[in-house]
Amino acid sequence: MRDRWTAADGFDAGAGVGMAEEAATLLVRNVSHRYGARTVLRGVDFAVAEGSLYALLGPNGAGKTTLLRILVGLLRPTEGEASVLGYAPHALPPEHRARVGYVAESVALPGSMTLDALEAFTSPLYPTWDPVRADELRDRFRLPRRLRIRRMSRGERMKVAVLLALASRPRVLILDEPFTGMDAVVREDLVQGVLSSVSDEGTSVLLCSHDIGELERLADHVGVLDRGRLVVSEPMDVLRARFRQIDVLMAPGAFVDPARLPPHWLAAARAGRRVSVLVTDHGTDDLEARVAEAFPLAERVDVRRASLRDVFVGLARARLGSGGGR
């Protein structure tokens, strides 16, 4: 199994640290972490620029939660270093820590409080707390002010957590699976709240989610973490331009040997007569001619720009095919 895809493979995991480091509000450099003999992060590098949204993808067990716990100061990396607003996360001065918002899927809120009471309790902790912003978010999220939090739905409780994070006008916002189990309307409310903070306040957002569809329309930059390694990190527009998805309907009885496909055609998958392939070098020569040569018995061939989901699934298949697994 390869530890890291090279640029020749169509991936560049180091692209996220190409920006000037002084422009990054959140920076991860060669971070590794071990729990005893078990290594869960391996040399991770990326940066989040001011006012940008970085989407972090990865299967369960990839190391995402450990990385986020390092960034909020709950863990220290075994090797390498991380910085938030120019400081090691565990050593953030109080005035800077107050400018970092963190919302996790498992957020715990005091069930006996109403939203009014919780805002009154929370606001003195943040010098930048903005009551007007809190009112705007409360209206946008359609949150009841006097209902005890224990009686709120899960979606309402997550909205409360996001309101508390955004009303403090953070410079950095870290979101860990905020959309899990939510219906489309609730997700849209949260998305619009986060986007308004990015556009109006210049907030830097690191968003970890399995909801790939939401990430594709939100993110400026995307990273894919797999078995503790960052195997992709690049701007969303570069990623979209780089990949093509080929979907083929083969003639009855026709056979395709994945081993005979070009080396940059990743993750060939077959289901009955249908074959799908992720292509990473579509711009280097005549893709149409190469497709015709690879699938001479095809009844129909569709070539389209790959979605983020196509890239994520294709990369996962390619990694497993190269000797990975769990």
- Calculate the alpha carbon distances from 60 to 164, 226, 234, 311, 321 in Å: 28, 9, 21, 17, 18
198-210 b/e (C-beta count within 10 Å ≥ 16 → b):
beebebbbbbbbe
Distance CA 127, CA 125 (A): 7
Would you state the pLDDT for residue 321? 58
Distance CA 191, CA 205 (A): 12
Would you state the pLDDT for residue 282? 57
Domain shared by 203 and 279, yes or no? no
Domain shared by 228 and 269, yes or no? no
Domain shared by 267 and 138, yes or no? no
Q: What is the DSSP letter of 273?
A: T
Would you state the pLDDT for residue 70? 96
Would you state the pLDDT for residue 10? 39
Domain shared by 152 and 195, yes or no? yes
Would you state the pLDDT for residue 22? 56
Q: What is the DSSP letter of 259?
A: G
Would you state the pLDDT for residue 267? 62
Domain shared by 176 and 139, yes or no? yes
Domain shared by 183 and 115, yes or no? yes
Domain that holds residue 40: 7-239
Domain shared by 285 and 188, yes or no? no
Domain shared by 134 and 98, yes or no? yes
Domain shared by 22 and 112, yes or no? yes
* pLDDT tens-place string over residues 257-270: 766 777 778 767 77
Domain shared by 44 and 152, yes or no? yes
Domain shared by 167 and 280, yes or no? no
> What sign for the dihedral angle of Cα 179, 176, 149, 123?
negative
Domain shared by 87 and 141, yes or no? yes
* pLDDT tens-place string over residues 165-203: 999 999 999 999 887 767 788 778 778 877 777 777 788
Would you state the pLDDT for residue 273? 84
Would you say residue 318 lies in a domain? no
| Model confidence, pTM | 0.81
Would you state the pLDDT for residue 15? 43
Would you state the pLDDT for residue 4? 32
Residues of the chain with confidence (pLDDT) below 50: 1-20, 322-326
* Element counts in the chain: helices (H) and strands (E): 10, 13
Would you state the pLDDT for residue 167? 93
